[in-house]
Structure 1
Amino acid sequence: MDFYSLAKQVRDLRKEQGISQVLMAEHLQISRATLSAFETGRAGDIGLKKVIAMLDYLGYELNLREKSPFPTFEELLDAQ
C-alpha cells in the first residue's frame, strides 16, 4: 500500500463512520488543514505518529508483514 492509498482509506473510514474532519482534527489536536492535506495526498511530510493516531481514532491499526515474492490481490488489480 502506498501513501496515497493509505490516506484515501483513512478518508473513507472517517466518512463511513460519519466523522467530520473538524471533529477528528479537534480530537487528535491537529489542524483540519493538515488532516485534509493528508486525506488528499498533499501532505507528504506528515509524521507516522499522526497517521497511527488517525488509524487508532478510527478503530484500526497499522500492521507490518513479511514481504512476499508473490503480488497481492490489490497489486494484481492495479496492474490491469
Structure 2
Amino acid sequence: MTLQDIGQTIARTRKRKKITQASLATSLGMSRATVSGIENGTVSEIGIRKVLSVCAALGLELVAQEKPRRPTLQQLMKEQSDA
C-alpha cells in the first residue's frame, strides 16, 4: 500500500461520514491543507503521528505488515510437481 492509497482511503471514509476537510483538520489541530495533502498524497514529509491521528478520527486502522516474498523457481517447480 502506498501513501497515495492511504490518502484515497482517508478521503473516501471522510466523505462517506460527511466530514469536511476543514472540520477534520480543526478537530485535530492541523491545517486543512495538511489534510488535503495527506488525502492527495502530495505532502512530501508527514509525520506518522499525524496520519495515525487522521485515521483514528475516522475510525480507520493503519497496519504495517511484511511484504509477501515472490516464490523462487524451485518453489514453483515443487508446487507444480506436487499437484
Q: Where does residue 34 of structure 1 map in the other structure?
A: 34
Gaps in structure 1 of 5+ consecutive residues:
71-80
Gaps in structure 2 of 5+ consecutive residues:
71-83
CA–CA separation in structure 2 for the residues paired with 1:11 and 1:17: 10
Q: Where does residue 14 of structure 1 map in the other structure?
A: 14
State TM-score, norm by structure 1. 0.80
State TM-score, norm by structure 2. 0.77
Cα RMSD of the aligned pairs, angstroms, is: 1.2
Q: Is residue 38–residue 44 contact of structure 1 (8 Å, CA) maintained in 2?
A: no
Post-superposition shift, 1:65? 2.2
Between structure 1 and structure 2, the one with the greater Rg is 2
Length, aligned pairs only: 70
Q: Percent identity?
A: 34
Deviations 1:26-65 (A, max 9, x none): 0000000111122111112111000000000001111122
**Amino acid in structure 2 at the alignment position of 1:56:** A
